[in-house]
Amino acid sequence: MSEVLLQQIERLAADAKTKSTQLHKGETMIEIEQSQLKNFITRLVNQIKIRHLSTITGLDLGQNIGIIYHFWRDRNTIHLKTFVPKTKPTTVSIVDIIPGAILYEMEIHDMLGVMFVGNPWMDKKLLLPDNWPDDLPPPLLKNVKPADIRKRLGLEVEKK
């Protein structure tokens, strides 16, 4: 990671009352509060000109669900990590800043049940089948077993 960029990122992180840590060469991880997220990304896009969002990853971390936004420019990768509690999985959408994030947010909504407030397509399914029962938990959570899903959807073939 170039020195100048690193300093800029550190300054941004300090403004958001958090710290940046170096994961590997050229890779920075920043853990950030949900309330600071939009402000941080706006400044990342407008001031530092890191405009390309690779994707958004959702992680099941036990009590919380982790959401990581992966940005890169040249040889620098920035992971922006935020947490939402499993009891109330709601966070803000960044579609108004980065319109390209719309499908990534839909994917996490399908797979981990996180609601992104502000995403216009949150009521639609992207990956899950149309006959997915509403009371079935999102499939990528750790406690969900593929066999249970198959059984519930009537796809399990009984062994004789």
Partner 1 sequence: MTEDKPPRKEESAGLMKYSAENLVPFGPIHPALKEPEYFKLVLEGEKIVEVIPRIGYVHRGLEKAAESRPWVQNMYMFERTCGICSFVHSLTYGQAVEGLTIYEIPRRAKFIRTIIAELERIHSHLLWVGLMGHWAGFETLFMWVWRDREVVLDLVEAISGNRIHKSMNAFCGVRRDMPEGMEDRIVERMKFLVDRANYYKGIVDTEETMLERTEDIGRVSAETAEKLCAVGPMARYVGLRRDIRLNDPYAAYDEVPFDIVTSKEGDVHALLKLRLDEMIVAANMVSYAVKHLPEGPIRIKIPPVIPAGEHSSHSEAPRGEIFYYVKSSGGRTPDRVKSRQPTMANLPTALEILKGQTIADVPVVLTAIDPCFGCMDRMSFLDIESNRQWTWSGEELRRYGINYYFPERMKMR
Compute CA 40 distance to the chain's CA centroid, rounded to the nearest angstrom: 15
Using CB under 8 A, which of 51, 64, 92, 148 touches partner 1?
A: 51
C-beta of 70: minimal distance to partner 1 in Å? Answer: 6
Q: Is 83 one of the binding residues for partner 1 (CB under 8 A)?
A: no
141 vs 81: CA distance, rounded Å:
18
CB 70 within 8 A of CB 79: yes
Residue with smaller CB distance to partner 1, 129 or 154: 129
Determine whether 82 is exposed, middle or buried from the number of CB atoms within 10 Å of its CB (0-12, 13-18, 19+): buried
Minimum distance from CB of 151 to partner 1 (Å)? Answer: 15
Residue from the set 8, 18, 57, 64 that interacts with partner 1 by CB under 8 A: 57
Residue 34 beta carbon to partner 1: minimum distance, rounded to whole angstroms: 20
Distances (CA, A) of 151 to 55, 126, 131: 32, 22, 14
Residue 6 sits in the site that holds partner 1 (CB under 8 A) = no
| C-alpha–C-alpha distance, residues 143 and 16, integer Å | 33
For partner 1, which is the closer residue by CB, 36 or 76? 76
Cα 110 to Cα 124: distance, rounded to the nearest angstrom: 9
Binding residues (CB under 8 A) for partner 1: these are: 23-24, 26-27, 29, 51-55, 57, 59-60, 68, 70, 72-75, 77, 79, 98-104, 107, 110-111, 121, 124-129, 139-140, 142, 146
